[in-house]
Amino acid sequence: MANTTNGNLLEVTGLKMHFPYHTGSLWTKKKGYIYAVDGVDLSIKKGETLGLVGESGCGKSTTLRAVSQLYRPTAGSVLLKGQELTTATPTEVLKARKDMQIVFQDPYASLNPRMTTSDIVAEPLRIFTKARILSLSKTEIDERVEQLLERVGLSRFFKNRYPHEFSGGQRQRIGIARALALKPDLMLCDEPVSALDVSIQSQILNLFKDLQEEFGLTYLFIAHDLAVIQYISNRIAVMYLGVIVELSNSAELYQKPLHPYTQALLSAAPIPDPAVERKRQRIILTGDVPSPDKVRTSCYFYDRCSKRMDKCSKSIPRLRDAGSGHQVACYLYNDPE
């Protein structure tokens, strides 16, 4: 499968994920949709890390799940190594998952408490052997599991222990070993360090960087911590209410944020230095994120924007290049078509 499009490992276009819901009583039943992801375009090159940042409910995790086909998307296309996944059969999706693995946020909920460490890490290998996609013997699997555990910084003597015997950081290492087991090209990381303590967080971030170098991995990395995203990513996409509002390389985004939301987000993030904090001017956003249960006809950020204009309420700004690959969806930088 070498037919990658424009050298991109993953290409997502017009991805939408709408969840239906019902309200009201039996007689006054109303149907509606939660527009969790409402048209996301992104592409990732091999060996690159794309960071996806935004507040809770903005659709980061839903995007990741729709990309991995854990949710079948409402609309749009997901090309992994040139193969369309949205219309693929379950068997084809299973095969594709060999190239695309997920590391989850909660290292407590994402490991089966009744399975030993070695069973957890071996499970993907066993499934793929059973499905005749891989052909590994029992001893080969055992060997591979031991290698994986040592690689993520766990002694192989731990392999018969259960998840509850480990701390949060160690559990996350088990989750990473499981994701690495199939030697994937793409790792989808859903807030893998958010549940960890500060001193453990930096250990795991460094592990991600080392693994990327060693195995040439590509990451789609989600976090809500802006400093973490900046550290790990080459390019960053900022999401708000189900759409990407800004996408740029990581250094440029922090030096020259264009979208009013990105500006507010960056200025709200605390910096661990009192001397810097005293001098900072904060943009404090008013109000909360609106509920994503309406079809939008205006800019998604219109309700909370301090720089909103008339034209922002009339049509939706699309992601456009504002120079040197820095894309922004805002009428301050380009006019409505």
Partner 1 sequence: MTDDVILQVKDLKAYFKLDEGLLKAVDGVSFDLRKGETLGIVGESGSGKSVTNLAIMRLIPSPPGRIAGGEVMFMGKDILTLDDEEVRKIRGNKISMIFQDPMTCLNPFMRISTQMIETIILHQGLDKVAAKVKAIEMLKLAGIPAPEKRIDQYPHQFSGGMRQRVMIAMALSCEPEILIADEPTTALDVTIQAQILELIKELSSRLGTAVILITHSLGVVAGMCDAICVMYAGRIVERGSADEIFSDPKHPYTQGLIKSVPRLDRTNTQRLYSIPGQPPNVINLPDCCPFFPRCERAMDVCKTKYPKIAELGPKRNVACWLYGEGK
Q: Which residues bind partner 1 (CB under 8 A)?
A: 55-56, 167, 169-170, 197-203, 205-206, 209, 224, 226-228, 230-231, 251, 254, 264-277, 280, 282, 284-285, 288-289
What token pair was written down for 79? 């090309």
3-state secondary structure of 134: coil
168-180 and 138-151 helices cross at what angle (nearest 10)? Answer: 130
- Of the pair 156, 320, the CB lying nearest partner 1 is at 156
* Nearest distance from C-beta of residue 337 to partner 1, angstroms: 30
* Nearest distance from C-beta of residue 283 to partner 1, angstroms: 9
Four-residue CA torsion sign, 172, 174, 176, 178: negative
- Of the pair 90, 272, the CB lying nearest partner 1 is at 272
What token pair was written down for 304? 């909370």
Q: Which of 165, 182, 83, 185 is nearest to 117 (CA)?
A: 165
- Of the pair 56, 89, the CB lying nearest partner 1 is at 56
**Which residue, chain included where needed, has tokens 């594709």?**
96
Whole-angstrom Cα distance, residue 322 to residue 10? Answer: 23
* Nearest distance from C-beta of residue 150 to partner 1, angstroms: 16
* Nearest distance from C-beta of residue 13 to partner 1, angstroms: 28
What token pair was written down for 120? 């957890």
Could you give the residue ranges of the DSSP H alpha helices within 191-232? Answer: 198-215, 226-232
- Of the pair 47, 290, the CB lying nearest partner 1 is at 290
Whole-angstrom Cα distance, residue 321 to residue 157? Answer: 52
Whole-angstrom Cα distance, residue 70 to residue 190? Answer: 13
CA distances from 261 to 3, 84, 184, 266 (A): 37, 33, 34, 9
* Nearest distance from C-beta of residue 267 to partner 1, angstroms: 8
Q: Which of 62, 68, 80 is nearest to 16 (CA)?
A: 62
* Nearest distance from C-beta of residue 268 to partner 1, angstroms: 4
Whole-angstrom Cα distance, residue 238 to residue 265? Answer: 10
- Of the pair 46, 209, the CB lying nearest partner 1 is at 209
- Of the pair 244, 265, the CB lying nearest partner 1 is at 265
* Nearest distance from C-beta of residue 311 to partner 1, angstroms: 24
- Of the pair 57, 184, the CB lying nearest partner 1 is at 57
Task: Kindly report the number of other CB atoms within 10 A of residue 161's CB atom.
Answer: 15
* Nearest distance from C-beta of residue 178 to partner 1, angstroms: 20
- Of the pair 89, 199, the CB lying nearest partner 1 is at 199
198-215 and 168-180 helices cross at what angle (nearest 10)? Answer: 20
The phi and psi torsions of 230 (rounded to 5 degrees) equal -65, -40
